[in-house]
Amino acid sequence: MTERYVWDLHEVDETRIAAVGGKGAHLGGLSRIEGIRVPGGFCVTTDAFRRIMAEAPSIDERLDQLSRLDPDDREAIGALSARIRRTIEEIAIPGDLVAAVTGALARLGEQAAYAVRSSATAEDLPTASFAGQQDTYLNVMGPAAILRHISRCWASLFTERAVTYRQRNGIDHRTVHMAVVVQRMVFPHAAGVLFTADPVTGDRKVATVDAGLGLGEALVSGLVNPDVFKVRHGEIIARTIAAKQRAVHALPAGGTREVAVDPRRQELPALTDAQVVRLVELGRRIEAHFGRPQDIEWCLADDGFQIVQSRPVTTLFPVPDSGDQENHVYVSVGHGQMMTDPVKPLGLSMWRLTAMVPMHEAGGRLFVDVTRRLAAPASRAGLLDVMGRGDPLIRDALETVLDRGDFVPSLPDSGPGAPPAGGAPAPIETDPAVIAELIERSRASIAALERDIRTKTGPALFDFLLEVFEEHKRVLGDPLNIRAIMAGMEATWWLNDTLWEWLGEKNAADTLTLSAPDNVTSEMGLALLDVADVIRPWPEVVAFLQGVEDEGFLDELPKLAGGTEARDAIEDYLDRYGMRCVGEMDITRPRWRERPTSLVPVILDNVRNFAPGAAERRFEQGRQKARKKEQDVLSRLRALPDGDRKAGEAKRMIDRVRTFIGYREYPKYGIISRYFVYKQALLEEAGRLVRAEVLPEKEDIFYLTFQELHDVVRSHQVDERLIQERKDAFRSYHALTPPRVLTSDGEALTGSYRRDDVPAGALIGVPVSAGTIEGRARVIHDMAEADLAAGDILVTTFTDPSWSPLFVGIAGLVTEVGGLMTHGAVIAREYGLPAVVGVERATRLIRDGQRIRVHGTDGYVEILP
């Protein structure tokens, strides 16, 4: 194919990204939209860039060096990228390339002023906006100057910022090429940026216009504050007019300069209301063309608006597809499950197939549509109560939507979304035998699954799993199971509410539930202390584990003194708990059985920080504290008026909470046990597909839905492009923060605590485990990287049950996500750890190593000097 060095803008569209880069392709697409004016210009293609790179073979070696650098080594990246830029700028542009550029300039007007803009092939894509990473030059005049600035744009592919971004996002430097856009300059009265969705709230129906006088560079560079207009349905709903003291103007001989604005114009809006509304109309037309919200740079000259750039807004959280035009309110599933990371497609589809309620996917996360339950007064009250107890921020966000009055429709209680007829289920007896029966039912169901799945392969496996998913839901929906879970939660709420009313004591249930029986998650943490007891006496084993990196280390242990005992202890632990892992609701996450090295740091912490017999001692200490607390509470109640009755009621509730609260953790254990059986069967099927050369890697199945994988197994054909698209999308989802509540308009709501009873500067959260503790904060994002000392306070995003082995070695807990009955809160109470959860941005506001004070009773955290 013949190389082509120049394309006119009107010749290109979004299909030409490889030739003209993201910016050039978008501008070409814009120029084809009816009613949208784009300044005339041309693109210097990536063919030209490759030609230039070929002129300097030394760049290849430097790119190899660059790819080996740590993204955080700013000094090395800065020095090497500067050398690459200098090399590119010093390359003499070949004659035929010069002729192509000067010929295009002659057609447009050789002596006119131009903007010269970089346009990288990985720029302005739907999943990644590279705004500001390469260079733009304004008011460039004359062929020689334009050619010089084209060279600078090529070199700007290797600015320190652009290089670091690619290193962090796993983008190979050689796969990105640079085109250059050369456009006729517009000399505007006003310029700025239009977001077709509110960039702060995400609301897709609110457009935001930032406007200033002169060239838009004054706004982009932060030289001036813009006028800001918000527009909904063609009406301006908010405005802020800035004092415009400075502006950037073009110079007659080329270049730009900063000038003072006439005092009489400083307080006047840069645009009239009619112009703002007209601009938003143009923006909606552009948004419709590209199919997603846009960040648009515009200019207003004598003859109207011209668009000089449009890129996708990549920071907005996607909206679930409802299939209709009605209003919807969605609540995050991940915040309730302590798993706000993105989930791969197979994980999402398996979760949805085994869930008790319909779920909707967006941004690699799952949401439940609560619109109908909010619409009817009776179901609304129940929903808000449950949400408020679990996560007050979700309740506040839902109330914010309801307070608007017109977003959620009103339904009578008898309509869809009303509570089921028949009233509440009969109360369950306080009998430990109920828990024993439920645990035995779960074990029997999982044993039957393990037995029956062994003979299933190919399409028959998928038919079998669809039947098994119904059994999965039957076990979860067993009325006795739900009544047992609710009995423990309701007893906790009763004790906290009533003992506060009668005795003025906050969160009394926290101590009363210490070392409750049948809590499989807290048992899991204590059991790892027992593993440490086996390993501690064997120095060779301890030294070996300190250097472990390979997942096959268990097979090497018997070669060491004490190694057989150590291996057997770890294997026994994995037999009981190996199906667990961080983010375990995503079936694609590696389990401890698959990646046992993830447990090694915790085992070594336990070896170092605890004496033998710690598990039994801790459990017994908790039991004694709970018993002493019970005696104290009952004796104080008997001293009150009508004390015998109050003490009798409290005693019944204490017995009830200790009978049922531990079981709160068991259903999740059953779900994850079943998930691991499903996963092993699906990976065996993936292995067959790899051997048949249908798939290159077993883990590729994680990027297919369950039904898509079923189709691949049946047809032995796979769409490799789809898998790659899913991998790229999944990578992009990590940059998105899922909201607690999301509307169908795209508005993301996080909620507020609305408290004024905490010290200034304190971080507010939900009090979930009583007590106050001061210590060193350890900000940890990955359990496998934990390095904890006695007295440390764990600060992290979320803790699902897999984090509980860490809990035995810490003094307190702070998380960004969680509520009173989420797993981290339950285990913190079980171990007697002061804990505050739901602390927004805790891992960013608290630095690793800082001293903090956690107020687990009152629900706030102080950062100490």
Checking phi first, is residue 227 left (phi over 0); if not, alpha (psi -120 to 50) or beta? Answer: beta
Phi, psi of 737 (to 5 degrees): -100, 115
Q: Which amino acid is at 857?
A: T
Give the burial string for 439-454 (b: 16+ CB within 10 Å, else e): beebeebbeebeeebe
CA distance 502 to 494: 12
Distance, in Å, from the CA atom of 86 to the CA atom of 844, rounded to the nearest integer, reads 37
Considering only CA atoms, which of 706, 840, 732 is closest in space to residue 363?
Answer: 732
What is the Cα–Cα distance from 332 to 224, expressed in whole angstroms? Answer: 38
DSSP 8-state assignment for residue 214 = B
Task: Calculate Rg over the CA atoms of the chain.
Answer: 31
CA geometry: angle 483, 486, 487, nearest 5 deg = 80
Q: Which helix (H) or strand (E) holds 749?
A: strand 748-749
The single residue listed with the structure tokens 């015998």 is: 644
Query: How many helices (DSSP H) and strands (DSSP E) are in the chain?
Result: 31, 26
Letter for the amino acid at 504? G
Closest CA to 18 of 125, 135, 177, 235: 177
> How many residues appear in the chain?
865
Written as six digits, the tokens of 198 are 């509110």
DSSP structural state of residue 125? B
- Alpha-carbon distance of 685 to 844, in angstroms, equals 42
List the one residue out of 359, 405, 414, 368 whose CA is nearest residue 390: 368
Residues 391, 397, 398, 399, Cα dihedral to 10°: 110
What is the rounded distance in angstroms from the CA atom of residue 9 to the CA atom of residue 279? Answer: 22
Pick from 184, 178, 181, 141: which is nearest to 159 by CA? 178
DSSP, residue by residue, 421-481:
TT-SPPPPP--HHHHHHHHHHHHHHHHHHHHHHTT--HHHHHHHHHHHHHHHHHHHH-HHH
| Cα dihedral value 769, 770, 776, 780, nearest 10 | 10
| Catalytic-role residue among 328, 360, 823, 855 | 823
Secondary structure in 3-state letters for 667-721: HHHHHHHHHHHHHHHHHHHHHHHHHCCCCCCHHHHHHCCHHHHHHHHHHCCCCHH
- Bridge partners of 256? 250
Residue 423, both tokens: 């009233």
Cα separation, 266 vs 677, whole angstroms: 69
Q: Give the number of other Cβ atoms within 10 Å of residue 732's Cβ.
A: 18
Query: In the numeric block, which tokens belong to residue 747?
Result: 């508005």
Q: What is the pairing mode between strands 772-779 and 793-796? A: parallel
| Residue among 191, 306, 162, 180 nearest 256 (CA) | 191
DSSP track, 766-820: EEEE--EEEEEEEE-S-GGG----TT-EEEES---GGGHHHHTT-SEEEESS--T
Under a CB-based contact definition with an 8 Å cutoff, are residues 366 and 348 in contact?
yes
Q: Is 189 a catalytic residue?
A: no
Q: Which residues are catalytic?
A: 823
